[in-house]
């Protein structure tokens, strides 16, 4: 079970760490040119075996998760590789819902869960596929199950990405629901379908466009604003000031995917600059290294980031040429 079908888990460790794993029965020898990589492979194998001892599965995704954690930089959420690897199966840092038990699968996710525990307002900023929204929904569901909050409110700005709301069929709910579908999907992953439906009907779980938040005070609630890069500064201020007694807020977004009209400042960018000095507010910056989807997604995000970086570098060079001393 540790090695995987056709030793695929061992092959993954070899590929990612540039080491050689030779297995004979219940013994594995690890060789490589880098002592650090050999040590990382050993720690990773032990962590994966501990997962099996706890009755948890070991898949390729779990192997990748352990590798992301053990390859983290020293200034990330953990300082020791053993501690980082243990976080992928430890009950101390797990989110438990009716259908899932979730552990951090990257250093960014570990820092995110730590921030959610510590702060009443948390900003999770970074590329797609890092689990920002998914973990926030899971955390909110776990709080509801424990009776620490009375309701969960999930919101998104209904900003079109190249399409028009008016072209969609149906009433306002039908038009808005496609924008909120990722939030529904996360809920159904955390709770049985009948519980999700009953809680939606009772109002314990509410999913609404950002525009519907104006004038409300949200108390005893866990509130999530997703796709926050598409809010304006006015909308963001309106949303943040809805925070009521015994409530928590999570704001997630990706500043590289802003769909606002050209030249309009993103409310997420404005808020992250305005509130950065406040100790009571948690900020977690995800990177492409935290992407937990298909490995190709990581490469796609990095390719776009590199192109943007080169474009900005070329713009600076052009400015230096035209704005230099005459």
List pLDDT tens digits, range 34-67: 999 999 999 999 999 999 999 888 999 999 999 9
Q: Where are the domains of the chain?
A: 5-86, 93-293, 296-326
Q: If we measure between CA atoms, which residue out of 17, 65, 85 comes closest to residue 291?
A: 65
Regions of the chain where pLDDT drops below 50: 161-163, 326
pLDDT attached to residue 262: 85
| 113 contacts 135 by C-beta, under 8 angstroms | yes
pLDDT attached to residue 323: 57
pTM, 2 dp: 0.82
| 116 contacts 140 by C-beta, under 8 angstroms | no
pLDDT attached to residue 163: 44
Instruction: Report the C-alpha gap between 314 and 308 in whole angstroms.
Output: 10
Q: Are strands 95-96 and 101-102 parallel, antiparallel or unpaired?
A: antiparallel
At 123, give phi and psi (nearest 5°): -110, 125
93-293 CATH, one of 3.40.50.150, 1.10.10.10, 3.40.50.300, 3.40.50.1820: 3.40.50.300
Q: Are strands 248-253 and 221-225 parallel, antiparallel or unpaired?
A: parallel
pLDDT attached to residue 212: 83
């Amino acid at each position: 079970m540790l090695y995987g079908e056709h030793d695929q888990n061992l092959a993954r460790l070899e590929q990612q760490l540039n080491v050689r794993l030779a297995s004979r029965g219940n013994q594995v020898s690890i060789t490589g040119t880098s002592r650090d990589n050999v040590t990382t492979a050993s720690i990773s194998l032990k962590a994966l075996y501990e997962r099996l001892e706890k009755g948890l599965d070991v898949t390729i995704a779990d192997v990748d998760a352990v590798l992301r954690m053990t390859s983290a930089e020293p200034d990330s959420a953990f300082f020791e590789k053993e501690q980082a690897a243990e976080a992928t199966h430890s009950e101390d840092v797990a989110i438990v819902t009716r259908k899932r038990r979730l552990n951090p699968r990257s250093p960014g996710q570990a820092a995110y869960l730590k921030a959610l525990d510590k702060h009443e307002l948390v900003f999770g900023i970074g590329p797609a596929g890092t689990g920002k929204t998914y973990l926030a929904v899971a955390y909110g569901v776990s709080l509801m199950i424990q009776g620490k909050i009375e309701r969960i409110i999930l919101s998104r700005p209904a900003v079109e990405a190249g399409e028009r709301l008016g072209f969609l069929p149906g009433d306002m709910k039908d038009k808005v629901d496609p924008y909120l579908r990722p939030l529904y999907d996360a809920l159904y992953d955390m709770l049985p379908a009948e519980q999700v439906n009953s809680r939606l009907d009772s109002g314990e779980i509410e999913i609404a466009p950002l525009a519907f938040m104006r004038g409300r005070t949200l108390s005893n609630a866990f509130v999530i604003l997703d796709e926050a890069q598409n809010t304006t500064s006015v909308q963001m201020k309106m949303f943040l000031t809805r925070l009521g007694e015994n409530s928590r807020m999570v704001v997630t977004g990706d500043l590289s995917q802003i769909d606002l009209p050209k030249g309009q400042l993103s409310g997420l960018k404005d808020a992250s600059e305005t509130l950065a000095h406040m100790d009571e507010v948690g900020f977690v910056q995800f990177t492409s290294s935290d992407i937990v989807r298909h490995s190709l997604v990581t490469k796609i995000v990095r390719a776009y980031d590199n192109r943007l970086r080169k474009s900005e570098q070329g713009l600076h060079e052009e400015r230096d040429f035209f704005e230099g001393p005459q």
